[in-house]
Structure 1
Amino acid sequence: MDNLQLRTALIVVDVQCAFDEWEAAGQRRNNPAAVARIADLLRAFRNRAAPIFHIRHEGTHPRSSFLPGSPGYAVKDEARELPGEPVIVKCVNSAFIGTDLESRLRAADITTLVICGATTNHCVETTTRMADNLGFDARLVRDATWTFDRVGPDGDAHSAEDIHAMTLANLNGEFAQVVTTAEAIATLARGL
């Protein structure tokens, strides 16, 4: 195993069942294959014994879909952690605030973060921006993230596809390198 592979970690953000509940309630999302791509990334990182960090959102509002002990808090089966893979629980959008993620990454001499999960324009975006601000080489995996339709402050409807694309455009080249799952796996295989 190349030492550089050990310096690259997969960050899996909030792949929790609450999002299934949102869809069942009629909220529309983009990128229906995102969870399958996350499973591909997990398999590739595990095959190379590269570090993986699972991020879990813990809701604090009484009506949150992410309350501990609720069905929505559970991780989707495809993204479930294996023994020895750390789970970091956060209560805000960034996986770096109120957690020991940064200190764990620094202690392991990890320099590159491959980031995937949900949702593109919330916790994934915030975590990606902070990763770059903290000096990590952030790689955001475009086909392993998703978001939902939203209504803006003026009542304008915005599709999940447009929100996803705009978020990627805002981050690319400024806060992250936006890549596909295939590109992330190929880069990991080359040890870069």
Structure 2
Amino acid sequence: MTSDATGPAGLDLTSNAALVLIDVQTGFADPAWGRPSPDAAGAQDNMRRLAQAWSGGGRPLVVVRHDSTSASSPLRPDAPGNTLEPWVAALDADVLITKTVNSAFIGDPALEAWLREREIAQIVVVGIQSNMCVETTARMGGNLGFDVIVPIDATSTFDLSGPDGDVLTAEELRRATATNLHGGGFARVVSTAAVLDAVTTAEASRHDDLGSHRV
């Protein structure tokens, strides 16, 4: 577990927990965003590992894409950077949600309705940026009554200047996100390893149950 990841051991996942993969788009490679998290590549690898685990286990996978309304944004719909990273585009996602704001719950189609229709009460939120769309989505999910899990090392962000001109590093911002979500009770903040362990445990239990029914 990374230093900014806190969370319970023995994490339980529901059989239909949804992975919400936010804004993993090529435009975030643009230098205009500033200095990225030093482990941004590792964070994206963790996102990929989780997506593969979800696909392999038959759990619902939600991909979110940001369609910026800013004419200068690398993420605007007519810009090359709007495209999903190739590995994300190749996923067999259950739904693609497009949004123009920070929260994946304010997009098309409506994420809350999509989850409620499928009786999904638990979501695992990952992606870019930790302190922007990931945190906003997790906060809103918690407010709406979902059981929200955030493997913080499967998120990344960029250095950011405050109103006084002081810069907070990507590492500081991600730690702040972990603290905000945990301290505010919006989400359980864990590691990718904890979630993958929970997937493995759930799969083993499911196979054991299937075996017992054959006896």
TM-score > 0.5 by shorter chain: yes
Residue 105 of structure 2 corresponds to 96
Does the 8 Å CA contact 1:36/1:78 hold for their aligned counterparts?
no
In 1, Cα distance between the equivalents of 2:79 and 2:68?
10
Give the residue type in structure 2 aligned to 1:28: R
Q: Distance in 1 between matches of 2:112 and 2:46?
A: 25
Give, as a single letter, the amino acid of the residue that structure 2 aligns with 1:162. Answer: E
Q: Tell me by how many angstroms 1:186 deviates.
A: 1.6
Q: Which residue identity does 2:51 align to in structure 1?
A: L
User: 1:130 corresponds to which letter in structure 2?
Assistant: M
Partner of 2:187: 176
Aligned to 1:137: 147
Contact 2:22-2:126 within 8 A present in 1 as well: yes
CA distance in 2, matches of 1:108, 1:118: 25
Give SS of 1:172's match.
helix
Partners of 1:166 and 1:44 lie apart in 2 by 28
The letter of the residue matching 1:108 is: R
Aligned-residue CA RMSD (Å): 1.8
Q: Is 1:167 equivalent to 2:177 in the alignment?
A: yes
Structure 1 residue 84 displacement after superposition: 5.1
The one-letter code sitting in structure 2 at the alignment partner of 1:189 is T
CA contact (8 A) 1:38 1:79 kept: no
Query: Are the equivalent residues in 1 in contact too, given 2:55–2:92 (CA < 8 A)?
Result: no
Amino acid corresponding to residue 167 of structure 1 in structure 2: T
Counterpart of 1:123 (choices 101, 126, 133) is 133
SS in 2 for 1:163: helix
Question: TM-score if structure 2 supplies the norm length?
Answer: 0.82
Distance 1:168 1:45 in 2: 23
| CA–CA distance in structure 2, aligned partners of residues 130 and 83 of structure 1 | 26
Larger fraction in helix: 2
SS where residue 102 of structure 2 aligns?
A: coil
| TM-score, normalization by structure 1 | 0.91
Q: Offset at 1:69?
A: 3.0
| CA deviation string 1:56-95 (max 9, x = no partner) | 0001121121111311101112322534531100110001
Structure 1: 5+ residue stretches without partners = none
Match of 2:63 in 1: 54
Q: Secondary structure at the match of 2:68?
A: coil
Consecutive unaligned residues of structure 2, counting only runs of 5 or more, are: 1-12, 204-215
Provide the C-alpha distance between the structure 2 equivalents of 1:185 and 1:77, rounded to a whole number of angstroms. 22
Q: What amino acid maps onto 1:137 in structure 2? A: D
Q: 1:86 to 1:98 in 2, by over 3 A?
A: closer
2:21 is aligned with 1:12: yes
CA contact (8 A) 2:60 2:93 kept: no
Aligned length: 187
Letter of the 1:131 partner, please give it.
G
| 2:46 pairs with 1:37 | yes
Counterpart residue type for residue 150 of structure 1:
L
Structure 2: distance between partners of 1:106 and 1:191? 22
Residue identity over aligned pairs, in percent, reads: 39
